[in-house]
Every structure is written in C-alpha cells, then in structure tokens.
Structure 1
Amino acid sequence: MLSKDYWRYWAKADTGVEGANKWHPFAYHSLDAAVIAATFWRDSSAVRRTLMAAFDVEEAEIQRLLAWILFFVALHDIGKLHALFQIKAPHILPQIWPDLASTKLIDTSGGHYDHGREGYRLSMAELRGWFKPASRHALKAWSSWLAAVTGHHGEIPDNDDPLPAYAEATILEQDANARRAWIQEAADLFLHPAGLSLEDPPPPCVTEARNLLAGFCSLCDWIGSNVDVFAYAPPALSPNDYLHSRLEQIRRDDILRHFGLIATPLAYQGIPALLKTDEHPRGTQVMIDDLPLVPGLTIVEAPTGSGKTEAALAYAWRLIDAGLAESIVFALPTQATANAMLGRCETFSKSAFGRANLVLAHGHSRLNQAYQRLIEAGSKRTAQGETEAGVQCAAWLASSRKRVFLGQIGVCTVDQVLLSVLPVRHNFVRAFGLHRSVLIVDEVHAYDAYMNGLLIEVLKRQKAVGGSAILLSATLPASIRGKLLESWGHEPVADVANYPAIWNTAALSESDSPLSLPDTERPAQRTIEVSLSKLGGACPDEPLIQRIIDAAESGALVGIVMNTVDDAQQLWIQLHKNAQVPVDLFHARFRLQDRQRIEQRVIEHYGRDAERTQGRILVATQVIEQSLDLDFDWLITQLCPVDLLFQRLGRLHRHSRKRPDDFQVPTCTVLSVETDDYGLHELIYGDARLLWRTEFLLARHKQIHFPAAYREWIEPVYGEAPWDDEPGTVYGKHLAWRDDQSEAEKKAHRLTTMNLSKFRDDEERLTSLTRDGEMSLSVLLTREDGRLLDGEDPDQMDEYTQAETLMLNTVPAPHSWGDRQLAGHVRDEDGRIRLKMHDDGQQRWSSLDGGVCYTTELGLAKAETAGLMDPPTEAPR
C-alpha cells in the first residue's frame, strides 16, 4: 500500500497536537473532507436538492452526481502534492521524505506557495496525461469542477499557468506521479462504484453550480480539518479501509449535528404555534397554509404591525418541514432592527426546532448581550464534562463571519446577504448557507438602486439552485416589485389595486393576479389626520415646540423624526431646556456603548410594553423608521418620500391602548421647507420629485385613509409620467436622478461579475461594498494621553478585549466631516480617526481644536450645535 507515491506527502502538520503522530497524511485528510461531504449528502435533503438543481441533474442520475462530488472534493488539496508545500513542515520531512529534506529547492512562488491556486494550475496542465478528455465541453467541465474545489480557501482560481520548475527532475517527477496516483485512487474509490471512469465527462458546472460546490467543499474542508474530530493518524490503513472507518465514526458521533449544521425540525404546527395564547391568525397569516409548497419567490405586502414577520416565519417553517430548505436567513436593514428581531427568532426557533443554533450577523453582533447569552448557552457542559447535546456548537458557528448562515436561523443586516454576490473571499460559503435556507428580507422598499441591483443578483442565484425567498414590505412601489419578480424569471404583473397582497411566483404561474385576503381578514380602515407645515429649514418653530411640550406634559408620548442628526440635536436641546418631562434623543452618532443603552431605553419607554405613566418626548432620526415596535400618541416628522412617510406613520397608535384625551385620533404633523428647493433633504433622498409629489398630496388632504393609501398614494408618487402641476426644475432633477440610479444598478451588476476576490471576509470596512457612495467615518474618541474617555488604556488589553473596547468607543460621523471638522486628525491601521479630546469639566468632551464635542446625551456634535446647550445635565429618566 505505502508504495504509492502520495504516501510521502502530509496534509496537516502541527507539533502542538496531542499524541505521538504530529502529521496527517495527504490521503487521509482528502478522505476526511469527502467523508463530511458524503454525510452531508445523506443527512441533508436541502443540500441534495440544491446541488441537483444547480447541476441540473434528474433523480435517475443522483448517484452519479454524488460520485462526481465526492471525487472532486477528494481532490481539493491536490496542490499539496508538491515539494514547495511539503517543505513548510521541515520537521516532518525526515520521517516521510528524507531525500526532500536534504534537497535544495528553488522557491519559484516567492515564499507564497498557494496550494489551492497551484492545485488548479497543475491539474489543468496534467489532466491530459491522466486521461483523454472526451471533448472541449468535458475539458471545460473539469476546469469548473477543479476551480470550485481548489478554491476552498476563499478565491476561485482562473489562471492555469503553473509555476516554473522548482527542483531537479526526480523531485518534479515524484510530485507529478503522486498527483497521478491520487487521481486514480480517487477514481477507484468514488467513480468506479458508480459505473463511471475518468473518461466520462462530469456534469456541466455553470457559475451557480461552481459557486455552490466551492462553498460546500470549503465547509467540508473546515470540518475535515478539525483535529478533535479527525485525529492525526499514521498511514496504517488503505484508503478504502480508512474511508469506511471514518464514515462509521462520523455517523456514529453525529458530527454534523454536533457542529450545529443539521437539526431535525419539528412538524409544522400552523400559525397559532407562533402567536401568544390570546392571539389568533390575522391578515396575511391566514393565507400561509394555502401557499404552494414548492421553491419560489414570495412577496408579502401588508401594513406595518400586521403580523408579516410571523407569516413569513410560518411559511418558511412549512418549506423546511417539506424538506425544501433546512434553515432560515432573516435579513433586515439596520443593526438595530436585526437586534430587535433576534428575540422573536429565538422564540420561533423553539417552536420550529425545539433547540436550534441561532446566529446574529452584523459588525457589532458580538456586543449584543442577548446573542452572547445564546453563545454561552451553547458552550455549557454537562456534569460529565461533555458538551450539552441540544445547542452544541453555537460558539463554533459564531466564531467566524464566514459561518454566519450555517446554523438553523441566521439574523443579519442585509449587507451580510449582499456580500454573497460580491468579489469577497469566501463569498461562496455565505452563498452555500443562503441556498440551503429560506431567505427572508424585511423592508425591501428601504434599499436604493445599487443595493436593489445586488439583491436582484442574490435572488437570481437563489432561484438557480432551487432555493426560496420571502420579501416583506408595507410600501412597495410597483416598479420595484416588477424588478423583483423579473429576477425570478417572472414577467411583470400589471398593477392591481389589491392590498394587502401576496405575490408568489408558483401561484402567479397559474394566475396573473396576486393572492388577496378574504374579506373577513382585510385590515380595518384606519384614518390618520395629517397637517402640512411649511417652516424655515422644515424645523419646528416656537409655537410648535410649545405644542409639543404641552402635549407631553398632558401625558402624551410624542415622537419626532428629523432627517439629519444636526437637526435632531438642535431640536433636542431646545426641548430639553424648556420641557418638564423627559426628552430622549436617539440617532446614530453615539459611541456604540451609548447607542445600545439609548436604544434599550427607547424600547423601554416607547415600546409595546412601556408603562406609559407619564408623557415623554423622543427626538430621533431614521433609526426608528423601520421594524422597531414603538408606539406614539402624536407624530411629527420632516418631509420624506411617501413610502418612508407611511413607515413612520406605522409608529403612530400602533397598538390598542388608552390614550390621553386630546390624542384619541392618530395625528401626524409633517414639516416641509418654504420653497421647492429641498436642500439637504433632497441630498438625503435623492429624488426631488418624490418629495414634491408627497408634499403636493399632503397639502390637498387632511386625512390619509389606510389601507387604500398604500396604492392610491405610493403608485402615483412613484409613477414615471409627469404631473400637470410639476415644476420643470423638479422634473429636470428627477431625470438626472433617474440616470444616476440606472448607472448605480449597472455598477452593482458589474461588481457581481468580477472573479477576483480582492477583499478578506473579515475586514471591518467590508460592508462599504454593499453601499453606493461614501461610507461614514469611524471616529475613536480618546483623551489627550490616548486613553479612552472612561480612562481605560486599550494598549494594556488583550487582542480580543481591545478590539471589542475600541468598537464600543467608536462613533460614526458624516464623510463630509473628513474635510472640515476632522481634517488633519490621525487614522489608525483600521481606518479609524483617533480624535483626541479634553474634559471641559461639565460632563462634556471637546476636541483639542474645538471643532466638535461629545456628551452621552447629545452624541458627537459640531461645536456650534453643542454651544446651544447649557452646562449639560443628565436627562430625566
């Protein structure tokens, strides 16, 4: 057995591992990965289904497809059969290849030998010596399959020029013989039992199949490299005997469940299982059990607070119960909304899985206390010292962003989903997790043309592998809905008046109309009183400020949404000086540790379960616009496009409860500018026409009637035809904006077609790829001596604690500040601006140049804004 050339080669070597054997043979590690692949295939119907769909293979060919998959997975490390890789462990060479230990090599890789890339290049150069390709199509298929498995370290190779000669002829021949011998061995193990040979062409491997296979192989390699599972073993067993012994071990120990990758779902129990004991299915929830049980795209349009989340989770549960998926990825627009969804998904997981691995994925997820509690629960050990069986490896899943979608439920910001189609290392691992999941995307109306371009590519790839997606929105313009349906290969549907509605591609194949609610479940008519006030800068004047204070002092909870942080800060200062009730401020320009505290306080005082024992005022920005379950008695908001306005109105009289006498009727006051020049508001929202049209309708209506307004207002505002009264300047700006949007969509598409993976998946600034335009600056607030504001010295911390602490003390700031307020300040290696500040003795920190200030109540502010304050004091609680 040991006479075969590949036995001279190691795949894993580590002097620190337990046991006498400090290396693991190449043949054994290759089979370890194949064992995981075979076990996945056996235990996961979703993996089988997606691979069959991606490779377009019928049921009759399923065993042959499996044979090819296992064969190529066993080749994933073929680049390690190379002397330049073997010399990376010189302490091993005297044991297994003494001649190489004493041979001088020419390192033609420049010290950067990449066994994945070189494995692909060598295989393409040598495969005509292994067998005779049947055709050009067969050769192309081999190229795609090899690229997928050899790209398992993050980047799919596309260059087939191998390195120049690096050693004397005997070494080169030894390496080539080893590769040829392993190809034959893998064919004997996996192809021949299925009636295949090397001369048979593998199934065509198109881009979607290649990416799916790359993600699958990466995951198999990760687990196959775990020494706790696959202990280093001396070359004592034949490949066939080793393969079967490992298969028995992995199945006996149920390794995939141990790592949280597989879980048995509980039988679908219907919508009531997801509701509270005193609740009953309502609205779109009553239609879920009638939706087709086939993969597809589903768009749910229903009012804010109508139970769309539970409806989506219930349909996902049905698809999982039917074996059409095995997990859920729930994507939301912001970190705050993702954090808020975590608890709801944890509750859902108990109904659908009993106990499941739940992963929160965004840049600050490790600072979320609820999520850390879940990770710790997954790490607890029994009295016998063994990992508790139910939640075994939540910590393993949470330890890398590359694994964010590999548990049973992933809750994330939409950026994490969009990265699966961008040129980022290991993007195909994210894609693999998505493809075996039901993808749920909330607030799909909230994304610009660039992000929609990326989302459409995500949907196309989800369809290509037989996956499913559910999109949620209260306010979706027909033009956007049409593009989303087209991404799934469905013709745009003529606009209809039905609302709420469910658009399911399988159902639409039989009827061109969406599914409509029964009359008994149509949402109750809801009327909101609206008034438009045209004020300087669209900011409250003194009479309105006094009305706000009077309302709060009479017991009302008043919500105010400003479009910019500067406006919000200035208004908060005015109210804070004059009101005798608590005034809260919530925006994004706080240190993360302060924002987390404020977010929790906002939910506590304005949320569904708030005690409401006194009046209170919340001044906020768009951070409260979506998904947060807040409930105001009166809402004041600056002008924004109509769909976003309706989102804000969803926080007004959201729940049935007792209201102050003067606020029995839901009322919203909309603030706009005094002319048709929307200034900064236009910069924020892009299209001046959307603002003008929204204002035009508000000026002519004293009431908005829901749900009719979702069609009667949104569709005209977003319609392309000019209005008779529309100013020419507004129309001209719209045309320029439309051209910009078209270019942004093209830019997104171009980016998704790039093959070169330039970016590491763990870079903090990675999400900049998912946004069009300049990202905000990250500002680290420090004292003059480099310590943090609370006196901590990050240089005295271990690496993990330091990273976490710096993140907690970082504030986002507008990109424009880089040329003004923050010009000349030093950036650290992570791109953060280190802003040195001094304590002015009044609970306020000011930058040394006097440009900006920071307090825990106001956040980071321009000096002129902070100058409006009296010496700061803690706001009433």
Structure 2
Amino acid sequence: MLWGKSRGLDGSQYPLICHLLDAAAVMRVLWCEVISAGLRAQLAEQMGVTEENAGRLLEFWAGLHDIGKITPAFQRQVWVPPGYPQGPGDLPRGHDFAAHLWLASALRQAGYADERRAPVARLVAQLLGGHHGCFHSVDPGDTRLEKRPFIGIGNGPWDEQRVAAFDAVHTILDAPEPPPNLGGDTAAVACALIILSDWLASQISFVKRQLVQLPDSGRVEDLQSFFHRSLAQAPALLSNAGLTRLRLRAGTFGEEFPFEPNALQSTIAEELPALVTGPGLLMVAAPMGIGKTEVAFHAARIMGHAAGTSGIFVALPTMATADQMYERLAAYLRNRSLDPTGLTLLHGMAWLSPLMSMVSEEHAEGVGDITSEDDTVHLAVAEWLLGAKRGILAPAAVGTIDQALMAVLPVRHNVLRMLGLAQKTVIIDEVHAFSPYMRRLLVILLSWLGRLGAPVVLLSATLPKHVARELYTAYLGRAPESAEALDLAQHYPGWTYAQRDMPTPISTAVAVPQEDRRELAVTLRPVDVSQRDGKDMVDRMPALRDELRRLIDEGGCAAVICTTVDQAQETYRDLRAWFDQRKTDGSASPELRLLHSRFPVGQRARITHDVITTYGPNGDRRRPSVLVATQVIEQSLDIDFDLMISDLAPIELLLQRSGRAHRHKSNDASRPEWAATPRLVVLTAPGEDTPRVPKPWTRVYPHASLIRAQRLLSRREDKPISIPDDVQDLVDAASPGDGIGAPDPLLDGFESAEVERISAGFVEVQAAEMIGIATPDGLTNLYSLTDREITEELISTRFDADSERVLPYFIGEDGDYHLGGPDGPMVPVVPGAGRRFTREQCAEVINHTIPLRASLLQGRSEANMPPEAWSNDVHLRNLVLLPHRVDADGQPVGPVLGDQRLTLHLDVGLTTSF
C-alpha cells in the first residue's frame, strides 16, 4: 500500500518495497558482472570484509536507499493509507534526508559501529541520504529521533512500517554482519553505486514490466519470490543500458598497431609488463609527434589488466582534440575489443559532434550499432548512456579534462563521475599545459584515483621535475623517499613508473636514434611596440615580411601564433592587406587562414577541419599558405608546417609549438629548399637583455616566464636547440617551481616579476583548494563533497576560463532575427507555449554561439537576456544575446557592453573595440 513510484505509470503506483528489492537486485548483478575486479577488491579491502560480503552489504544498502519515503511528507503526495497519522507539525523535508536521519539510528540498533574512530552507521546513513547526488549534514546528536519529532518522519504506524521494510530487506537479502571499517572514500563510491542501481531500477519501461508481476502479498516469502524475478531481469537491464566490461585482446605492440614501434614504444612494450603488478602511475615525457597516443593505449591495456580495471577514459585539453581522439580510440577498440564496445564523447558540445549525432539518430530508429562511412569507427552506444551524467559510466570514453576534474569539484553527482573513473585506466594528455589551478585539481584527482586503485597514464611533451614530483606524491599518497632520487630518475625523452608498493619509481631513458633527432634553428626577431590610447600595440609586419618572403616566392607553409585573439585578428588583416597588394602587382599570393576561439562553434569546426585537411599528415601542400592562429593549434592537433613563427611565450610552450614544424617525415620531400631544416622564429619583446614585454602578452603569461624564455634563447647565441637532448634542461631552467628559492640570474632586474608569478600561482592553487573537494585522507563527513548551491554551469575547472557563451544575431531589414549574418538563417522560434526546441533547432542556435570570459561581458542588460521561452532548455537558457545591425556601408555593428563594442565579422570572428 505504501507507494514508491508513480510518475509515468499511467495512474498506477508501484509499491515502495518492490522498488527497494529491484535496486538490490540490480546492485547484485552490478557487483558481479559490471564493477571491475580491481574496484571490488579495493572496496572490500577498505571495508575489512571479503569481496562476497562487500557485494552483499552494498545490495542491502541499496535495498534501504528510499526507506525515507515511508513518511507522511512523501506519501501524501499521492495518498496516505487509513490509520497513518499526519502530524500538523511535520516538515516537508526530502525523503533522502529522512532516510539519512532515520537510518543513522536504525543502523546503530542493527549493530553498526558508530564511534569516533569507526562512524560506520553515520557514514552508511549519510551515503544513502546522498542518493540524489548531494549529501546532508546532521549533527550526531540530532540523529536521536526523539529530538527531531517533526521532520516528516512520523512515528507509530510509520515507524512500524520502516522497521518492517528494514527487516524484510535484511531477511530477504540475508544481509551479512556490518563492516568493521568504512572510510569516506569508500562511502563515496558506495553512494555512486547506490545512485546507479536506483537509476537503473527506476526506468519507467522496467517499472511498467514489473507492475504486471507484483507479489501476491507483503509476506516475506512472496517478496522473496518477487526479488528473484527482479534478479532474473537485472542482467538484461544492465546490458541494454550499455554497462559492460571492456575486454581487450592481448598482444604485442606490433599486433596492436600496423607499424614498427619506435624507441619509446619499444621500451614501453618490452619493459613495462614486468614492472606492473597492480595499480600504478605511468608518466611519459617525450617530444611532439613521437607516438605517445599509441604508447598510452598499449600501456593502458597492460596496466588495466594488472590492476583489474575494465575500461579506458582519455582526457584531452580541448573539445577539438577530444573529437580527434574519439575517432582514434574508436578505431583502436574496433580492432582490439573482444565485444561491441560503448564509447562516449564527453564535453560541453559533444552532442553537436557528427559522430554522436549519428548515434542519436540511429537510436531514434531503434538501432544501437553503427559504422562510419570510412569503416574506422565502430560503436555500440546504448541510448541510456547518452543521458545526462551517464556517459562517463560507459566502458570507454573520451572527453575534455574538465569531465575528469569535475569529479573533485563539489557538484551534484560528482561521486558518479568518480565511480566512472575508478573502474578505468585514466589517460591524461598534455599535462604540461595545465595552469596552477588545474594542476592542483589534478593533484586532488590523482589522490583519489591512487586510493581507489585506478591506473593512470600521464602524457606530456615537457614535464618539469618539480611537477613530476608533485604528481607522483599525489597518486601514491606519499612523497618519494628522496626528492633528489626522483629528480635524478627523470629522463627526457623517457618514462617513469611507480606503484604504492615500490620504494622508488622506476625510470627509463629512451635512446633516440640519430635519424629521429633534430636540430631546431631558433631565430629571435624583436617586434615593434608603440602606444595608442595608452595601450601597447604590437607590429609584427616588418618581421613577418622578411620571414615570409621566400615562402611567397618559392612555396611552402607557415604558422603564425599570436598571443591574443585580438592580435591574431589584426595580424590576419595586416597579412591579407599585404597579400592583396601583391596581387595587384601581379605577384603570387599565398592562401591565408585564421583560427582562434572567437569564431562561432560551427564555423570554428569547419575551419579546424580545413586546417587539419590542409596541414595534416596527408595534407594538400601544393599552394603556398599561411595560418594565423592563437594557442588553439599547439595542443594535440596533428598538423605540420615548414616554418613556425610564434610570439614570445613560456619556453615549454615554444618547444611544444616547434613540434608542429617538420612534424612528419613523409612531407620532407615536398618542402621547399628554404625550409630544409626545422626553424622556429620567436617574435620577442624589444630591448634585447632588458626586454619591454607588451602588456597584452603579460596578461596571458607570467611576465617572469616570458623574461626567462627570452633570455634563455638569446644567451644561446643562435645555437640550435637539440631535440630531445636540450629539452629537459631548458624546461627545468624556465620552470623553477612555485616557491621562492635562490635568486635566479635569468631574472636580474626583474625580481618583482618573479614575486608576481609566484603570488598569482599561489592564488590559483588556493582557489583550487577552496573549491575542490578534500583528498581521501581523513574524510569522515561526506557533506563536504557536495554543495547544494553549486551547479556545473556555475563552476569551472579552469581559472578565469571562457565560461560564458554568447549568441550574436542580426536584425534584418524585415525586422526578423538572423544567425550568422543579415542574410543568414532565422533564429528558430518555439512553436507554441510550453513547447521545446527540437534537437535540430537547438543545435542550429548553439552552432552560432561563441565562448567568452565573463570579464568581457560587463554591463550586460535585459536586452542581452534570452527569451523566456528558452528557459526550459539547458543549452539555451544562460546564453548572452548580442543583437547586431548593419550600417550604411554594409558593415556589421554589434552592441556596446561596458566600455567596448562586441561585433561578429564573418571573416575574423568576434572582435572587441574600445
């Protein structure tokens, strides 16, 4: 008679006791058939019980999660059985809080320890009270029910029924003795398993099927029979949801990949298997373009097998690089997976990805298995995994690093993200690109993954020794026995492997064959810096004219990387004017492209695809061409140029950018004579050894880092950089750490810049520590893991990130609103009150949006708010609208926000003018 589910059941009510037993049945199958062997062993060890009893405890707890629904506050939403009192003072608190409060007392009475050193009863009650994704805080004294009579729990028949349900679940499941131990980290993962069991057992289609086979009565023997029927249904329920274990075919590196391994790949393949005996951390530092992705896939299989994990998650720095990696991992899994594998793409715009769109379309037709046109991607993604917050539970996933770091931010359901990661081998690429804020969040994440036994592979083009030491310490939960020993163990190129049972890490240097070594010629070209309206203006054109003249005359391709979007736009326009002038003289003119983050989503995707097609491994390099870009091309994009020109940047980023010059030997035969050797041209600040760095550059990078980079390069006196031999020394000299040490000769005269760098880094680290969750050590109160006021939309894993999304639109002569230009498609209109956008309409709007920093949107008003009809769509409700008009000359004019005008130009993207 006490109901547990009613929504979507066409007027029927599903008995609460049946839902509790369904959740327990799902948990039993989850534990036995889905949860990885490594995580099962880890949880059992931390609880101090056998794996079998750990699973039985979890299914018992799952059978109690909704017991707070046996309260007047919940039941009166539909109806209250006769004889059940409704006190006038009952407070309408959520049933999750009621479960937390009541179970803390009930579990104590059932023999669960509740001492200071073993608060097992309180933690189990708290984890069950957190099954809606947020944890509650209750003072231990307040769990005495006589002190909280009017909290919606009720007494008399209500309490009798809760006790009856508790006893029935305990009897039917034959619940084992309470665990002697329960740490906060184990409780957090247990909560995630409860949430997952609840979600699966709450699917309307499943509940409707269960309604036709309800027990004849509430007697234990009838409920026992019902439980076994639920148990028989659970395997199909999990399989249809796509929750399976990833099983990879064993083999040598040569069997996994269709090419001969290079030196790095060979040492990993030959030496790593003998070292790996359990969960561990692999750090790989090697030059760009050396095949670190294949190393990561091969190592992940070896490490995952030893640690008992059953999945892979690959974290990338950007959405574009995640999209690329998605296809690479899909191709690998198609060849090496023993079963059809669910592979999800996770980032804010993943639902716009053509591949994921194809998955959604196939599911709309009831098909879950698709193959791309070029037969390189094979997917079997269950529709259930495409739901919100579920994708990370797939056996394989690719996403931005934000998707992993969100597990250590205090947002709802973060423990579910942690569960998804804990069962996988986690690969994190481009670690060198992390800011102090992101690196601190990574440290917190590594501490959790190390505790939970998830293997981790960290990939980096450059890895300073102090960063390697920090990451090592975080994962293993202890500092190395000797910091010097760890420093000495770092090799470049090379890799380091560590496990908790290893006293010191094992490190291997990679002997790079002579044919794979290269000498990078570095040319320093100071730019002209002038003042305009009190702002520093950078003129690159004198240097660019000199450096690009032979390209124009003899062919080839070059990239010009500017520090800011504004400067990239200005440089593009200056180069276009110069090239157009040459056209009028009858001279040859190269192709010119521009890529940065302030293009609309769809346009940026098209430009990125064009860039990869033109400059990729098999690109069309017949015409001379120049790409002007920002930092967006320095990470993970597989592109190759004859010449790299870059604004001054920290040394590790300059080295990273140089990896896009002469990246593929297959292109060497087509390079022009002037580009016979790789060359990096650095546009430096004027002033030689006492440089005057333009302020726009110091707003992006620490002033001290730029001074170090310029002085390190200038003091080499045109000596080429030997790659890889010189890389580690340059990186360590340019990245001394985050503390104040001995005076650095590289900063003579700029000591205050170093203090500013350290202070800014300290602010970022403090911000990360304030917003990030606690590490597992000593975590006894789950309440600190979530904050009910914080949502994923309000929190960022990147310090001062582009956290807002703007939608420029144009008001046409007809008064209608258009996207992309005055003649572009009309802004979609919601057809009727209460209706929602279709997926296609929503995608059309989002494809015209642009990410921006909030600081660029000061002064927004009601005119910039989206229509009320958009408030029901999570993708549209927080957009900032930028209405545009067209002036008498046919030029777009955007709105003024604060002291600047934001205008979308079709050729250069969104501009800011003061």
Same fold (TM over 0.5): yes
- SS of the equivalent of 1:229 reads helix
1:189 aligned residue: 172
**Contact 1:817–1:823 (8 Å) recurs in 2:** no
**Contact 2:48–2:181 (8 Å) recurs in 1:** no
1:835 aligned residue: 882
Instruction: Specify which of 490, 498, 514 is matched with residue 505 of structure 1.
Output: 498
2:194 aligned residue: 217
1:534 aligned residue: 526
- SS of the equivalent of 2:599 reads coil
1:285-324, aligned counterparts within 5 Å?
Answer: 285-291=266-272, 292-322=276-306, 324=308
1:843-854, aligned counterparts within 5 Å?
Answer: 844-848=891-895, 851-854=901-904
Instruction: Specify which of 177, 181, 188 is matched with residue 204 of structure 1.
Output: 181
> How far, CA to CA, are the matches of 2:95 and 2:313 in structure 1?
33
Compared with structure 1, are the counterparts of its residues 759 and 368 closer, same or farther at alpha carbon in structure 2 (3 Å cutoff)? farther
1:796 aligned residue: 830
Per-residue deviation, 1:736 = 2.8
Please say which of residues 720-729 and 217-226 is displaced more in the overlay.
720-729
Residue type of the alignment partner of 1:565: V
How does the TM-score come out when normalised to structure 1? 0.88
> How far, CA to CA, are the matches of 1:60 and 1:835 in structure 2?
59
> How far, CA to CA, are the matches of 1:287 and 1:509 in structure 2?
18
> How far, CA to CA, are the matches of 1:146 and 1:244 in structure 2?
26
Given the alignment of the two structures, is residue 143 of structure 1 paired with residue 119 of structure 2, yes or no?
no
Given the alignment of the two structures, is residue 643 of structure 1 paired with residue 652 of structure 2, yes or no?
yes
Instruction: Specify which of 284, 300, 303 is matched with residue 265 of structure 2.
Output: 284
> How far, CA to CA, are the matches of 2:135 and 2:727 in structure 1?
45
Per-residue deviation, 1:769 = 2.7
Please say which of residues 304-313 and 719-728 is displaced more in the overlay.
719-728
Instruction: Specify which of 399, 403, 412 is matched with residue 387 of structure 2.
Output: 399
Given the alignment of the two structures, is residue 544 of structure 1 paired with residue 544 of structure 2, yes or no?
yes
**Contact 2:805–2:851 (8 Å) recurs in 1:** yes
1:495 aligned residue: 488
- SS of the equivalent of 1:476 reads coil
**Contact 1:584–1:619 (8 Å) recurs in 2:** yes
Deviations 1:626-666 (A, max 9, x none): 10001000110001001111110110000012211211111
Compared with structure 1, are the counterparts of its residues 138 and 726 closer, same or farther at alpha carbon in structure 2 (3 Å cutoff)? closer
> How far, CA to CA, are the matches of 2:837 and 2:423 in structure 1?
35
Given the alignment of the two structures, is residue 757 of structure 1 paired with residue 786 of structure 2, yes or no?
yes
Residue type of the alignment partner of 1:147: Q
1:871 aligned residue: none
**Contact 1:590–1:860 (8 Å) recurs in 2:** yes
Per-residue deviation, 1:669 = 0.6
RMSD: 3.0
1:42 aligned residue: 32
1:617 aligned residue: 626
Please say which of residues 479-488 and 692-701 is displaced more in the overlay.
692-701
Could you tell me which runs of 5 or more consecutive residues in structure 2 were left unpaired when the two chains were aligned: 370-377, 530-537, 580-588, 775-782, 872-876
**Contact 1:285–1:307 (8 Å) recurs in 2:** no
Given the alignment of the two structures, is residue 236 of structure 1 paired with residue 216 of structure 2, yes or no?
yes
Per-residue deviation, 1:728 = 4.7
**Contact 1:108–1:164 (8 Å) recurs in 2:** no
Instruction: Specify which of 214, 224, 232 is matched with residue 248 of structure 1.
Output: 232
Given the alignment of the two structures, is residue 606 of structure 1 paired with residue 645 of structure 2, yes or no?
no
- SS of the equivalent of 2:283 reads strand
Aligned residues: 823
How does the TM-score come out when normalised to structure 2? 0.84
1:874 aligned residue: none
**Contact 1:405–1:430 (8 Å) recurs in 2:** yes
Given the alignment of the two structures, is residue 718 of structure 1 paired with residue 735 of structure 2, yes or no?
yes
1:868 aligned residue: none
Residue type of the alignment partner of 1:259: A
Compared with structure 1, are the counterparts of its residues 167 and 847 closer, same or farther at alpha carbon in structure 2 (3 Å cutoff)? closer
Compared with structure 1, are the counterparts of its residues 339 and 520 closer, same or farther at alpha carbon in structure 2 (3 Å cutoff)? closer
Compared with structure 1, are the counterparts of its residues 138 and 694 closer, same or farther at alpha carbon in structure 2 (3 Å cutoff)? closer
Compared with structure 1, are the counterparts of its residues 143 and 628 closer, same or farther at alpha carbon in structure 2 (3 Å cutoff)? same
2:440 aligned residue: 453
1:875 aligned residue: none
> How far, CA to CA, are the matches of 1:42 and 1:496 in structure 2?
41
Deviations 1:539-592 (A, max 9, x none): 423353354254145221111100101110011001112322210000001111
Per-residue deviation, 1:273 = 3.8
Residue type of the alignment partner of 2:610: R
**Contact 1:12–1:26 (8 Å) recurs in 2:** yes
Compared with structure 1, are the counterparts of its residues 392 and 566 closer, same or farther at alpha carbon in structure 2 (3 Å cutoff)? closer
- SS of the equivalent of 1:482 reads helix
Please say which of residues 182-191 and 323-332 is displaced more in the overlay.
182-191
Instruction: Specify which of 476, 483, 486 is matched with residue 463 of structure 2.
Output: 476
Given the alignment of the two structures, is residue 654 of structure 1 paired with residue 643 of structure 2, yes or no?
no
Given the alignment of the two structures, is residue 811 of structure 1 paired with residue 850 of structure 2, yes or no?
yes
2:779 aligned residue: none
Per-residue deviation, 1:147 = 1.3
Could you tell me which runs of 5 or more consecutive residues in structure 1 were left unpaired when the two chains were aligned: 1-7, 385-389, 865-877
**Contact 1:561–1:636 (8 Å) recurs in 2:** yes
1:158-169, aligned counterparts within 5 Å?
Answer: 158-159=137-138, 161=142, 165=149
**Contact 1:776–1:812 (8 Å) recurs in 2:** yes
Deviations 1:831-856 (A, max 9, x none): 43211101347774211559333222
1:28-177, aligned counterparts within 5 Å?
Answer: 28-44=18-34, 46=36, 48-57=37-46, 61-90=50-79, 97-99=81-83, 106=88, 108-110=90-92, 113-127=93-107, 130-131=109-110, 136=115, 140-159=119-138, 161=142, 165=149, 172-177=155-160
Sequence identity (%): 25
> How far, CA to CA, are the matches of 2:420 and 2:490 in structure 1?
37
> How far, CA to CA, are the matches of 2:568 and 2:724 in structure 1?
30
1:23 aligned residue: 13
Given the alignment of the two structures, is residue 709 of structure 1 paired with residue 726 of structure 2, yes or no?
yes
2:565 aligned residue: 565
